[in-house]
Structure 1
């Protein structure tokens, strides 16, 4: 009897530990997912209103969003992600006073980066013509891009602020602010684009106003919010130790951008197939579904990076390892649900986007590959979040280069094209109609990356990572007094 009660107590204790970690995980992941949805819908609303102006305007705004905005957004979001490592570990170590300084250093680096890529916005029209875009579309896109330039600097301010809040698990405020800004953004578009007819210039200005309104509200929360220790005002320390910050920020940016540009390269390959309108349409529909499921995984990415960074900074390596297990298992379970839905409804889901029978048929062919991708994306972003929380951005960037660009894309290209001989016997290339083959190549790169990340995480010596976190905090501005409490089991 005594042994039975002891076993029950052990099981109950393990369930409580698991439940407590799930609460911490969802407390970050939930609002981050909602914030991502609200900010994604900001661009969606703009595109929807512009689409009612004309086809040229819609194409122009879509090109700017898909190429120029995507580049800037990914680069600055990646550079801001360095704060997930530094602020998260500083919170765990109890060095809250360094968070404001870290954020200001990130502002300096991100604003300098924005200034460096500003020419992309100012000279968008000639750049797009160089990429063989239609002249009329390129000219309208250039106008929209020039008026959208203030958004570039808004990203540089916003992303470090959001990482500052995430590291302290203060994310619901950002979610509420994002929801309010989305409502204001929709209203402003209705007034200035739909009613007053200010066209793409009006749409761009409304986006600028919305993003800076988001920043103003976030900064107001920073000043008036409960951050007496982590925010003490602007400091000259923001300009100290920038070299180490730049290296980590660049590694974070490269790590994230390599993943984002991978899908852009896949779309370029698909566009070179025979009958590209159908092929690009089919793969775009699938990627749209994948994007919505990926938002959930990105929430877990942010949550696990915060949890790992916090526990390593607090010198709790076992708790950091346990957070990885819980986050991976939870995201896996959610991803499995999405995978089953995509398989069961693979023929019905495309009808939300099109009634074209040919496009429906081609999209349905990708159903099984889409399901496999969704399943993998329930695991891979969590492992990337672990890498960010532990500060592994640089080695993982090299993993991404090898898996995506040295394996995935070459395989996709091989499946997309064949070599044959013409009438004179010379080797020529012709397009092989294999959209599925391109996706298989993309999937191969993702599978390889996921396997490597699993091996890295499995072989990680978490005690050593906790020591590295302590050294990182000491190097970049803190005197660490680590907690002496017993580690979480």
Structure 2
């Protein structure tokens, strides 16, 4: 009789373990689906809009600010309601129209660069107008009921949060731009700048992909906290962290395999290709940690910690990374490799600090 009880107890225990295991798998799967449901359309949108920053080369800066502000504000508004499919479809459509107009303006009408820039402008504004039509047309009945003075209530906290978010992202973008600036003071500067530009171009494309996860992370965390479900927010943050690790392992392996061949995709200059091949390890390291830090930054945004992340960026990037990069590059004569190594130390430190903050956060508060 006692043996039967032991057997039944063991079977019940195994059943409970399997039930917990299945429950964990189901929870991870559900959270992952929600993350990708936001991330994938956003990735399409960001990649299709990748050319918009070059508008400032030939159009007024205020025009660019208006375009980017309109695009990101409306996109965030729709993503907060999980209206992600419309973003993906509009971005895909605008990208196809952009390609068609670029071919017509540049090749058929021979308008050159002004024609190509005009195609970018038209394609970019089509997304904004399409999202406006979607909102004003009644497809967001729970959140849009027309213009009211209530839109101006509690405006100061929103402006303060927006400034913190902008500062946080600008500090990261300027950090990469400084690499180009410092490369101009090394020996054989033309080749060094070309090689670093190729690497930063690759990082920029990867950033467009990961920006989808940043927005997805922020929306997912803010929605869970908005519902008052701290445990779900904590679990989502851990799933996001694990997802970012898988993504960075994939990209890191990809660049480890094809790193020495990347330069041929951008130039036929053998010196630039050779210099780029020397930087492939640092490039793969940059890719690995940039994926992680972008996802963790998204979690911080969702928790309303933009100001804290901005302070972390200032300390890690500008008080640690750049001074060490200058020391390695110019004092120890490691040139661009030393500059980039120092700046990567700043990125690694930032990833560790944000990871620690995220992992030790009391989400119930």
**SS at the partner of 2:187?**
coil
Deviation at 1:258, TM superposition (A): 0.4
**SS at the partner of 2:331?**
strand
**SS at the partner of 1:217?**
helix
Determine which of 233, 236, 240 is the counterpart of 1:327: 240
Deviations 1:184-211 (A, max 9, x none): 1222222233322334444443333222
**What residue in structure 2 maps to residue 456 of structure 1?**
357
**Is 2:12 aligned against 1:6?**
no
**SS at the partner of 1:160?**
helix
Determine which of 172, 178, 188 is the counterpart of 1:275: 188
Choose between structure 1 and 2: higher helix proportion: 2
Deviation at 1:33, TM superposition (A): 1.3
Q: Is the 8 A contact 1:273 1:433 kept in 2?
A: no
**Is 2:31 aligned against 1:21?**
yes
Give the structure, 1 or 2, with the largest relative contact order (CA under 8 Å, sep 6 or more): 1
**SS at the partner of 1:345?**
helix
Structure 2 spans left out of the alignment, 5+ residues: 1-10
**What residue in structure 1 maps to residue 75 of structure 2?**
162
Deviation at 1:28, TM superposition (A): 1.1
**SS at the partner of 1:207?**
helix
Per the normalisation by structure 1, the TM-score is 0.69
Deviations 1:347-403 (A, max 9, x none): 122221123222222111111111111111221111100110000011111111111
Q: Is the 8 A contact 1:151 1:207 kept in 2?
A: no
Structure-to-structure mapping, 1:207-226, within 5 angstroms: 207-224=120-137, 226=139
C-alpha root-mean-square deviation of aligned residues, in Å? Answer: 1.9
Deviation at 1:433, TM superposition (A): 5.7
Per the normalisation by structure 2, the TM-score is 0.92
**Is 2:228 aligned against 1:315?**
yes
Q: Is the 8 A contact 1:150 1:208 kept in 2?
A: no
**What residue in structure 2 maps to residue 414 of structure 1?**
327
Deviations 1:151-201 (A, max 9, x none): 432222221100011111211211111111111122222223332233444
Determine which of 158, 170, 179 is the counterpart of 1:266: 179
**SS at the partner of 2:139?**
coil
Change (3 A) 1:225 1:172: farther
**What residue in structure 2 maps to residue 427 of structure 1?**
none
Instruction: Give distance in 1, aligned partners of 2:162 and 2:330.
Output: 37
Change (3 A) 1:191 1:449: same
Q: Is the 8 A contact 1:266 1:409 kept in 2?
A: no
